[in-house]
Structure 1
C-alpha cells in the first residue's frame, strides 16, 4: 500500500484540472491509495473518480472543521502528501501530518522565527508564480506572463510522472436529467448544438464576454450555419440575471430567428456537466465549464484576457482565442478584452465544429 494525500480544495476549475495527475500517480505507484481533500461543495468533481479511493471534505471557514480533518488525516502514515493550496491553514495542515515525502505548499519559518506559507523546492516551478512566491509579486507576475507550459505539464514534471488529461465521471441520474431536458427541447442530433458559456462569475469581469457580444456571436453563427444550429445558454447562479437578459433578446417578441435554449443557472455541478456533454461545441470563458469540456473531451473554443491561456491545454479539442491587448495575462479584474471579437470567436467555432 502506498497512501497518497492530495490537498486541492478549491477553486472548482482548479480541482477538476488537477485530476490530470491521477493516471500518472497510479502508473508510478501501482499500489497507491489516493485520498483527496476538497472543500465542501467541490466533492462531486472527484468522488466518482475510479483512481481516487477516498474523498475527505472540509469547511475552509471553520477552524473546528480544519481541526477535525487534521485528526482524521493524522491517523494515516502517508507516503506522499501533494499539497497544492497556498492558504496558511492548509499549509499548516500539510506540515502537521506524518509523511515520507511532501511536495508543494507548507509552512516555512522566517528569519524572525515566525511561520508563513511557503513551498518545497521541488514545487518551485509552480509556486514561484503564485501568491506565496519567494521571488516577490513582481517577479511572480513576470514568470506567469512568460510561462510556456500548461498546468498539466508543470505538475507532471513537478511530480515526476507522465502527463495525462483531466477527467470527470458523470452519474446516470445527471445524464438522464440532461437527456429529458434535451428531448423536450428537440435536441435530437438533427442540427448542431452549440453551448454558450460566456459569463465569468464575480472575480474577473472581463474574463467573460459582454452580453452584447454574446448575442452578436449567436446571430453570427446562426447566419453562417444557415439556421442548422441550436444554442444552449449555460451559466451558474452568478449569471442568472445576465442570462435572463440574453434570453430576452431571442424571445417571441424579438426579430431573431436563432433558437436559444436556457439550460438554467441552478443545476448541480454534475447535471451542469451533463449539459456541457450534450453539446457538439462549447464556446466558453476560462471557467469551470471549460474544464468540464476538456475533461469530457468536448470540442471547445475558449477565450482568455486577464488569465493565462498557456496554462490551459485543450488537447486538440479546439482553439484558444487570446487577447492581444497589452494587459493580457495581467490577472487584473478590468483587463482589456476588446480584442476578443465576435469575428475571431465565430471563425474559431466554425473551424472547430466536428
Structure 2
C-alpha cells in the first residue's frame, strides 16, 4: 500500500515506517520508500495486552515465537506496564499503558487482539479496540468484572477465580496462555535478552567453581514463601563444602538479609543492581536457587538450571523446561495462595537445606 504525497512515495504499511520520525532504514542507510530494499509490507496487525507483573510478562514471551511462525509478516504491538522487560527488536511496537497509548490504540484497527490480563482496564480495552479476532478476557457487560471473551478463555478464567479448580489444574501457565490464544503449546522457549552485550564487569564473582545463585527473597505479598536465615546458612555451608561457589542475589528488599548471610558464611554478595544488570548477573550463574519470584521467571527465561522452592502454589503451574528441580516442604502446605500461614509457622521451615542441596547437585549434572 503506497501513497504519493507531493511526488514522494510513502509506504505506511511497512513494518519499519514510524510516521513521526525517520525509520531505521532511512536513518542508517538513507533509503526512501520508492526503492527501499528493506520494505516489509505488514500483512497482519496483532495486539498483545499483557500489563504486569514483570514475571507474568516474561513468561508470556514464548507466545511471540508461535506468532512469528503463524504470522511471519505481522506487525506485533505489545501493551504493558513494564516495557523495559520486553526484548528489544523482537516486538515491532511496545507501548506503556497510559492515556496517550489508550487513545492511540482505540483509533486503530487490528486483525488479532490477545488480552491476557483480567485487570479491568485491560478488559475494557478488549471491548473498545477494534479487531477482527479477539482472544482472552473482556468486561462482563452488566457487572463490569473480567469475563471470558470466548470458550478458549474458560479454563484459565475458572482456575483463576476458584481455588478448588486451581488446585486441580495440571497445565503449566504457558500452556494455558497458548490454549487461550487458540494454539497448541509445543515447548516454545521464552524470548529474552541476556544483556550480555552491555559490557558489565563481574570480576567480583568467584572464579573456577560452579556458581550457585541464591535468590533469598520472595517479595512482600506472599511472605509464607520465606526461608529462614538458618536454612540459607545451612545450604550455603553444604555448597561450600562440596566445592561450589554460592552467590547471594536479590534487590533492595533483600539487601539487609544478604549482608547478614555474607557476614555469617563468606558467600559472595555483589550487591544490588538495576534490572538489566541484575538479569545479566543471573546469566553468570550455573544454577539458580529461588522461590516463586521475578528471579524465577528470569532464570527460566535465561535457560538456567533452576531449583525452585515452592509451597503455596500449584507445582504444575511451573514449567522448568527440563532444566532443574522443583522442591517442596516435607509437610503439605495448607495455605494455597495465602500471604500468612494458618498454622502460625510457614511450612517452608519444613523444607530441609539437605533437600535443596541435593536438587542443586542433580541440576548441576544436567546443566
Is residue 307–residue 328 contact of structure 1 (8 Å, CA) maintained in 2? no
Instruction: Give SS of 2:234's match.
Output: helix
Q: Deviation at 1:328?
A: 5.2
Task: Give the Å deviation of 1:202.
Answer: 0.4
Q: Deviations over 1:82-115 (max 9, x none)?
A: 11121212211221100111211211123xxx43
1:330 and 1:342 mapped to 2: Cα distance?
A: 22
Structure 2-normalised TM-score? 0.81
Give me the whole-angstrom Cα distance separating, in 1, the residues matched to 2:302 and 2:294: 12
Q: Where does residue 170 of structure 1 map in the other structure?
A: 194
Alpha-carbon distance, 1:167 to partner = 2.6
Q: Which residue of 2 aligns with 1:343?
A: 354
Whole-angstrom distance in 2 between the partners of 1:4 and 1:263:
41
Q: Distance in 1 between matches of 2:67 and 2:334?
A: 34
> TM-score with structure 1 length normalisation?
0.84
SS at match of 2:213: strand
Cross-structure match for 1:34: 76
* Deviation at residue 246 of structure 1 after TM alignment: 1.8
Ranked by relative contact order (alpha carbons within 8 Å, sequence separation 6 or more), the top structure is 1
- Name the residue aligned to 1:246: 261
1:343 offset after TM fit, Å?
Answer: 1.4
Deviation of 1:305 after TM superposition, in Å, equals 0.8
The answer (yes or no) to whether the contact 2:47–2:114 under 8 Å persists in 1 is yes
Are 2:140 and 1:118 aligned? no
- Give the conservation status (yes or no) of the 8 Å contact 1:263–1:275: no
Give the aligned CA root-mean-square deviation in angstroms.
1.8
Is 1:20–2:62 an aligned residue pair? yes
Contact kept, 8 Å, 1:28 with 1:161, in 2: the verdict is no
Does residue 1:333 correspond to 2:339, yes or no? yes
Aligned partners of 1:12 and 1:209: how far apart in 2? 22
Matches within 5 A, 1:255-270: 259-265=266-272, 267-270=273-276
- Summarize the alignment of residues 193-272 of structure 1 with structure 2, pairs less than 5 Å apart: 193-223=211-241, 225=242, 228-250=243-265, 259-265=266-272, 267-272=273-278
Matched residue count:
315
Name which one, 1 or 2, has greater alpha-carbon Rg.
2
CA distance in 2, matches of 1:34, 1:80: 10
DSSP 3-state at the match of 2:267: strand
Gaps of 5+ in 2: 1-42, 342-346
Q: Matched residues in 2 for 1:233 and 1:184: separation? A: 12
Secondary structure in structure 1 of the residue aligned to 2:203:
helix
Structure 1 residue runs of 5 or longer lacking an equivalent are 59-64, 134-139, 251-258
Distance 1:103 1:324 in 2: 40
Using the TM superposition, give the Cα deviation of residue 29 of structure 1 relative to its aligned residue in structure 2, in angstroms. Answer: 1.9
Give the Cα separation in 1 of the matches to 2:339 and 2:319: 23
**Aligned counterpart, 1:284:** 290
